[in-house]
Amino acid sequence: MKPRKLPKMKREEIEALLDSESICRIAFRGDRYPYMAPFQYVRRGGALYFHFTDYGRKIRLLEADPNVCVGVERLEPDLSEYRFVALSGALERVEDVRERAEALRLLSEAGREGLSQNFLAAHGFEAEASWSALSGDAPLIVYKLARFTDVVGLRSPYQS
């Protein structure tokens, strides 16, 4: 029996998946092995925006090498349907004050609308904080993935 290749997603399907999800995984080039971590993201103008604290392993790896692979997926619990997108490219630090503030506002808004307040700990805040803690004044570093060197989108062969 010859293995069946998974169908590739069309551009519109990839964009729809990226717009509908808010959590991704970012794979960094580690010291010896790749390192992967979950991130909240927002999509604006074709770019994906993320934020980092100014300490820890992820920011250290990113500063050493900005080349990453970002994975976004949607899975049915029984895996009857699934979609997966992998975007490769270099993360760019957002230096523009307005762009940074807008990215943080969108991350805050998305978190308030769809994520537990407990998830604020992943952003470096106490769970008792509110999502407004992700303001333009927050001590966070914002990065974006705007230029993709490779995009792979695959889906289950049978879609309902």
C-alpha to C-alpha distance for 109 and 114, rounded to whole angstroms: 9
Mean pLDDT, 10 residues at a time, over the chain (160 residues)?
A: 87 96 95 93 95 86 95 90 96 95 92 82 74 76 94 86
C-alpha to C-alpha distance for 105 and 149, rounded to whole angstroms: 27
pTM tops 0.85, yes or no: yes
- Largest Cα–Cα distance in the chain? 58
| Cβ–Cβ < 8 Å for 26, 50 | yes
Fold of the domain spanning 11-153: Pnp Oxidase; Chain A (2.30.110)
Domain ranges of the chain: 11-153
**How is residue 52 written in tokens?**
């980092």
State residue 158's pLDDT score.
Answer: 76
Give one word for 111, left, alpha or beta, with left for phi > 0 and alpha for psi -120 to 50: alpha
Burial call 118-150: b when 16+ CB within 10 Å, e when fewer: ebbeebbbeeeeebebbeeebebbbbbbbeeee
